């Protein structure tokens, strides 16, 4: 059988291979061809993937550019970069040999998606879960064989994630499929889950006894690998030293804006104390979900009133309490653009736990202060990820309608999270809530955190910073509380390009400026936003090519 000769056929072949190799990630994209499988982490499978990726890369390069549409030429460059990122991941860095988190996430993400995504009736999804669970012994065996002297932080997190996966297969699975309780199918699922749990628990016991105590590998990948990830996944070919200089400059600028906003709100007061007062103004426990729904609805009205984008009639962001087996702070579960037909989208919010001490509840609720709920909701829902996903149903082709991977896998985030981060600033600059400084403080707090992510990802892996240095950046320069600052710093060890949030927003603002300069009086902010969203998940370079054909200027300035 010959290789595909059209670009569309080449994309379909790649996506089928991607879904077969990484079914858990693919399912979150609406690609369900291999939902009953788990990732194959055997050395032979990884070697085969590397060969397949190189063959696909060569095929893409061989396609005659004159036979491609303008969209396809852009998509080809994106896909080439994605493949380069995967080759770096699998062949050069070989994280499958040193990061046990990969094995845990392949299992937990895959099963969790089938528990939560209502793209098929429960009995169908239950049978798919059982198919996945049959792959647990092979996955665990590969982890035992492949993982050698992982970095301590990877070992600790991977162990915790695998224990959580075992717990998820306990009562959480029963909760997810409660409508099928007492049926023969549920009994079969429970038998399969219990069997898988025994395998997982034996693995975690072994790992905790034989691997964790001596885990001392180096998590640093080096500056060149970070630069290569940005070049491949984000198509950002800017020297790291210049990205650091940009981050340092913007950090100071945001800090100045933060102090100015605090001064407007409480003249003469300490800015951090002013921010603390804002954080302590939040809904009571039991009222967080309803409050968030009201805020999302107000953001929707604001977007329409300001004519910032089209919000399709009949579409509404639904805020719901987080499911008992899907706890987290706030997460948008939007229907993937390739999901056909679209599934229900939910914006899940986790209220304070009534069984926790009052002080712990208060600390949790501080994150849901009224200003921060609005900024987070702008990012996650309106006009951020949710609205973006709705408009991506009209994106040409398939390449820009998929999330290519999950951390610590390669994933273009400058277009996806860059857009969402841009919308946080957009609603503030457009005067949401009558330009109340509280909302600007919340937005700048998040912006400062994203700059510290850029600096930390680069400087940690270049060896310029220790984890303590990175934590200090989040605490002292972004005003993040110590526990959260520690988590942010640690994320940089396995997600070195999490600066894509900041770089994406920066690139989006530059693109807006340049499109406006080109179009002059004909420029429409609404039309600009519509084009960006319909262009899909794409690195900023791609957005520039699509909106400014032939552009050769620097992507990030």
Question: Per the domain annotation, does 554 fall within a domain?
Answer: no
Question: Per the domain annotation, does 548 fall within a domain?
Answer: no
Please state, in angstroms and rounded to a whole number, the distance separating the CA atoms of residues 226 and 238: 11
Q: Of 181, 214, 247, which one is at a domain's C-terminal end?
A: 214
pLDDT score at 325: 59
User: Strands, E, within 187-325: which ranges?
Assistant: 319-321
pLDDT score at 405: 54
Q: Are residues 301 and 442 in the same domain?
A: yes
Question: Per the domain annotation, does 542 fall within a domain?
Answer: no
The pTM is what? 0.94
Specify the DSSP element, H or E, that contains 85.
Answer: helix 70-87
pLDDT score at 316: 87
Question: Per the domain annotation, does 522 fall within a domain?
Answer: no
396 near 71, Cβ under 8 Å? yes
pLDDT score at 334: 85
Q: Are residues 193 and 261 in the same domain?
A: no
246 near 555, Cβ under 8 Å? no
Q: Are residues 140 and 252 in the same domain?
A: no
Q: Are residues 250 and 201 in the same domain?
A: no
Q: Are residues 324 and 414 in the same domain?
A: yes
Q: Are residues 171 and 313 in the same domain?
A: no
Question: Per the domain annotation, does 68 fall within a domain?
Answer: yes
Domain count, the chain: 2
Q: Which of 110, 129, 123 is nearest to 179 (CA)?
A: 123
Contacts of 103 (CB under 8 A, 6+ apart): 41, 139, 140, 142, 143, 147, 158, 162
Q: Are residues 208 and 230 in the same domain?
A: no
Question: Per the domain annotation, does 474 fall within a domain?
Answer: yes
Q: Are residues 270 and 239 in the same domain?
A: yes
Q: Of 214, 247, 267, which one is at a domain's C-terminal end?
A: 214
- List the domain range (segments joined by +) for residue 203: 7-214
Burial 176-199 (b: 16+ CB within 10 A, else e): bbeebeeeeebeebbebbeebbeb
Q: Are residues 425 and 389 in the same domain?
A: yes
351 near 275, Cβ under 8 Å? no
Question: Per the domain annotation, does 13 fall within a domain?
Answer: yes
Q: Of 214, 241, 267, which one is at a domain's C-terminal end?
A: 214
Structure tokens at 204: 């975690």
Q: Are residues 328 and 447 in the same domain?
A: yes
pLDDT truncated to tens, each residue of the chain (557 aa)? 466 679 999 999 999 999 999 998 888 888 999 999 999 999 999 999 999 999 999 999 999 999 999 999 999 999 999 999 999 999 999 999 999 999 999 999 899 989 988 889 999 999 999 999 999 999 999 999 999 999 999 999 999 999 999 999 998 999 999 999 999 999 999 999 999 999 999 999 999 999 999 999 999 999 999 999 999 989 999 999 999 999 999 999 999 999 999 999 999 999 999 999 999 999 999 999 999 999 999 999 999 999 999 999 888 889 998 876 554 667 888 888 888 888 888 899 989 888 999 998 998 899 899 999 999 999 999 999 999 999 999 999 999 998 765 444 556 578 889 999 999 999 999 999 999 999 999 999 999 999 999 999 999 999 999 999 999 999 999 999 898 899 999 999 999 999 999 999 999 999 999 999 999 999 999 999 999 999 998 899 999 999 999 999 988 98
pLDDT score at 409: 53
441 near 479, Cβ under 8 Å? no
Sign of the dihedral through C-alpha 360, 361, 364, 370: negative
What number of CA atoms fall less than 13 Å from residue 322's CA on the CB side? Answer: 16
Question: Per the domain annotation, does 152 fall within a domain?
Answer: yes
Q: Are residues 119 and 230 in the same domain?
A: no
Q: Are residues 152 and 189 in the same domain?
A: yes
């Amino acid at each position: 059988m010959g290789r595909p000769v059209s670009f569309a056929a080449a994309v379909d072949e790649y996506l089928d291979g991607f879904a077969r190799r990484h079914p858990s990630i693919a399912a979150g994209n609406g690609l369900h061809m291999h939902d009953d499988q788990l990732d194959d982490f055997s050395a032979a499978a990884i070697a085969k993937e590397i060969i397949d990726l190189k063959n696909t890369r060569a095929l893409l390069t061989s396609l005659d550019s004159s036979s491609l549409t303008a969209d396809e030429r852009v998509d080809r460059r994106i896909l080439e970069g994605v493949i380069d990122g995967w080759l770096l991941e699998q062949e050069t860095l070989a994280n499958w040999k040193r990061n046990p988190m990969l094995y845990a996430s392949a299992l937990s993400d895959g099963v969790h998606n089938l528990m939560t995504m209502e793209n098929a009736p429960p009995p169908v999804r239950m049978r798919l879960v059982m198919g996945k669970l049959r792959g647990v012994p092979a996955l665990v065996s590969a982890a035992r064989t492949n993982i050698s002297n992982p970095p301590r932080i990877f070992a600790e997190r991977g162990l915790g994630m695998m224990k959580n996966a075992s717990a998820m297969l306990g009562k959480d699975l029963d909760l997810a499929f409660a409508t099928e309780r007492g049926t023969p199918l549920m009994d079969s699922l429970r038998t399969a889950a219990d069997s898988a749990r025994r395998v997982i628990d034996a693995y975690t016991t072994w790992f905790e006894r034989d691997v964790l105590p001596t885990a001392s590998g180096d998590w640093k990948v080096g500056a060149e690998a970070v630069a290569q990830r940005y070049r491949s996944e984000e198509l950002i070919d800017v020297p790291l030293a210049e990205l650091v200089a940009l981050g340092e400059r913007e950090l100071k600028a945001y800090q100045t804006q933060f102090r100015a906003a605090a001064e407007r709100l409480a003249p003469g007061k300490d800015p951090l104390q002013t921010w603390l007062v804002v954080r302590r103004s939040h809904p009571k426990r039991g009222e967080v979900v309803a409050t968030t729904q009201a805020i999302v609805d107000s953001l929707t009205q604001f977007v329409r009133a300001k004519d910032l984008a089209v919000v399709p009639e009949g579409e509404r962001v639904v805020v719901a309490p987080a499911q008992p087996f899907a706890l987290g702070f706030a997460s948008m579960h939007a229907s993937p653009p390739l999901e056909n037909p679209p599934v229900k989208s939910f914006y899940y919010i986790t209220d304070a736990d009534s069984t926790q001490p009052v002080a712990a509840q208060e600390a949790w609720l501080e994150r849901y202060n009224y200003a921060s709920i609005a900024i987070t909701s702008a990012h996650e829902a309106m006009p951020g990820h949710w609205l973006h996903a709705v408009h991506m149903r009209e994106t040409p082709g398939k390449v820009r309608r998929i999330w290519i991977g999950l951390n610590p896998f390669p994933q273009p985030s400058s277009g996806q999270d860059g857009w969402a981060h841009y919308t946080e600033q957009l609603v503030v600059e457009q005067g949401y809530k009558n330009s109340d400084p509280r909302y600007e403080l919340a937005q700048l707090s998040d912006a400062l955190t994203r700059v510290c992510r850029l600096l930390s990802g680069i400087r940690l892996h270049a060896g310029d910073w220790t984890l303590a240095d990175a934590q200090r950046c989040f605490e002292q320069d972004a005003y993040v509380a110590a526990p959260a600052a520690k988590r942010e710093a640690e994320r940089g060890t396995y997600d070195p390009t999490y600066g894509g949030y900041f770089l994406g927003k920066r690139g989006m603002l530059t693109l807006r400026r340049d499109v406006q300069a080109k179009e002059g009086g004909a420029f429409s902010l609404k039309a600009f936003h519509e084009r960006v969203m319909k262009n899909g998940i794409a690195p900023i370079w791609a957005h520039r090519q699509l909106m400014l054909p032939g552009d050769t200027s620097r992507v990030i300035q």
